Amino acid sequence: MSHKYNISLVTGDGIGPEISESALNVLEAINDNFSLSLEIKKLEAGDTALKNTGKALPDETFEAIKNSDACLKAPVGESAKDVIVYLRRMLDLYANIRPAISYPNMPSLRDDVNLVIVRENTEDLYTGEEFDIGDAAVAMRIISEKASKRIANYAFTMANQREMKKKVTCVHKSNVMKKTDGLFARTCSKVANDFPGVKFEEMYVDACAMNLIRQPQSFDVIVTTNLFGDILSDESAQVVGGLGMAPAANIGDNFGLFEPVHGAAFDIAGKHIANPTSFILSIKMMLEWLGNKHGDQKCIEIGQKLESVIYDLAKNNIKTKDTGGDKTTIEFTKEIISRL
């Protein structure tokens, strides 16, 4: 029996409200077509919220997110640090999961890419610990054994469950940052001993950046630190067609927040040409996470159905302008709903 889920939807800035409307329409269609009970609460956060309330993440928004079963977040503008970085830390969403998968008829480098970047989400330079010393600016790079161990465990567990190449690539730069990245690499190597069925390799971040272009099909699960993961995941998204195709999940032990990888794209806001695919695929990731957490097979199957619809649209060359098609945001959303 399927559960009832309370979903918080942060509508964001720029193209955020447009793709949030797409997401809402898809969620309502899922409720209608599959008798799933998803109760959606729209929330405000980001630049608009900062202007209206004085806070990028109003207290009532944060409380509503905490009290929901999962959160869908559209992109926000310049206040992103005060929204998503804060949420990741306060809710301890330590694993940032960014898949990169080839879809048909996309401007991708290859048609056989299926990789996931597992990015540590709470430490590194993103803690915001910066200060001035004389005429120099200094940033603290914090890497702990605890955070490194749990993200490594997450990556190896995922490699086992994916049943693809069963390989984890630990990406770091320990030849230069011997203390911080040295700790991360050593910890991942220790965790690898607990997963004898998963192949383990290490790769410097510059080599990984090159190999994502040269041979992206060789990767399975990449585990890395916060900053490197942020950069490499944008690169891997472009490898398979662009940020419009790239979903992301922020996962902790008790909560999940799901969002498109791309930004608020103020330059195309209001033109109704934004690609909602990454947000729709984020819904797929949310449904699978909810299903696994609550033992709800129906939720998992609906998530898989949603992904198959996106694949079918790409196969039939039904696309938005950013990927070489001619569909508006609304038209593309209607195509999705008609196939559910």
Tokens of 2: 């399927």
* Residue of 47, 126, 284, 319 marked active site: 126
Tokens of 266: 């103020």
Dist. CA 337–CA 19, nearest whole Å: 14
Dist. CA 313–CA 43, nearest whole Å: 30
Dist. CA 238–CA 173, nearest whole Å: 23
Whether residue 94 lies in the annotated active site: no
Q: Where would I find the beta strands (DSSP E) of the chain? A: 4-10, 37-43, 70-73, 95-101, 114-120, 130-133, 136-139, 167-172, 199-204, 221-224, 247-251, 256-260
* Residue of 230, 284, 296, 319 marked active site: 230
Q: Which amino acid is at 260?
A: P
Whether residue 253 lies in the annotated active site: no
Whether residue 173 lies in the annotated active site: yes
* Residue of 206, 271, 311, 315 marked active site: 206
* Residue of 69, 82, 124, 173 marked active site: 173
* Residue of 69, 82, 124, 234 marked active site: 234
DSSP string of 211-261, one letter each residue: HHHH-GGG-SEEEE-HHHHHHHHHHHHHHTT-GGG-EEEEE-SS-EEEEES
Dist. CA 223–CA 170, nearest whole Å: 5
Residue whose token pair is 């619809």: 309
Tokens of 137: 């600016």
Residue whose token pair is 């269609």: 29
Whether residue 204 lies in the annotated active site: no
Which residues participate in catalysis according to the annotation? 126, 173, 206, 230, 234
